[in-house]
């Protein structure tokens, strides 16, 4: 699964808040148990090793995605909890797209 999402890094791990908590528009690509981020679709296709801000891919092993019911500032937002304790918020275009991401991530 791949597509544009707007991302906010909330937690580095269970105890440390992310230093950069601003929202970034990213192109997301889930391949197997890895989730990678790119500037755009073209980038993801042509240079898959050159990720957004040089970030390594996230491992979706033991990760869980669910709608961020407690986050009221934006709509269609889901939360990704990593096994490491890291947490991200992602805003999709609509609820349908959000649910597609949630179920896809949760079945990896
Ligand atoms: C962050 C930015 C985010 C905001 C976050 C700020 O500042 O305004 O939009 O999250 O709030 O730290 P900056 O762009 O200067 O990094 P929300 O949109 O969720 O409010 P936070 O520190 O409460 O996470």
Q: How far apart are CA 38 and CA 44, in angstroms?
A: 6
- Residue of 21, 74, 79 with the most ligand 1 atoms within 8 Å of its CB, for mutation: 21
Nearest to 93 by CA among 1, 10, 4: 4
Q: How far apart are CA 49 and CA 4, in angstroms?
A: 18
Q: How far apart are CA 56 and CA 98, in angstroms?
A: 23
Q: Residue 8 has which token pair?
A: 């906010």
Q: Using the mean position of ligand 1's atoms as its centre, give its distance from the Cα of residue 49 in Å.
A: 28
Q: How far apart are CA 94 and CA 38, in angstroms?
A: 21
What integer pLDDT is reported at residue 83 of this predicted model? 98
pTM greater than 0.90: yes
pLDDT digits (tens, 9 = 90+) for 1-59: 999 999 999 999 999 999 999 999 999 999 999 999 999 999 999 999 999 999 999 99
* ipTM for the assembly: 0.95
Helix residue ranges per DSSP H, the chain: 41-46, 95-106
CA-20 nearest atom, ligand 1: 16
Q: Residue 67 has which token pair?
A: 């709608």
- Measured by CA distance, the residue closest to atom 11 of ligand 1 is 21
């Amino acid at each position: 699964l791949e597509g544009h999402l707007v991302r906010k890094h909330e937690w580095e791990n269970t105890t440390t808040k992310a230093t950069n908590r601003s929202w970034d528009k990213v192109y997301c690509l889930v391949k197997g148990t890895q989730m990678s981020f790119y500037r755009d679709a073209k980038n993801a296709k042509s240079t898959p090793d050159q990720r957004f801000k040089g970030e390594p891919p996230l491992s979706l092993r033991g990760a869980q995605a669910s709608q961020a019911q407690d986050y009221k500032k934006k709509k269609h937002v889901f939360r990704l909890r990593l096994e490491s304790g890291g947490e991200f918020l992602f805003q999709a275009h609509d609820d349908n797209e959000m649910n597609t991401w949630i179920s896809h991530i949760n079945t990896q």
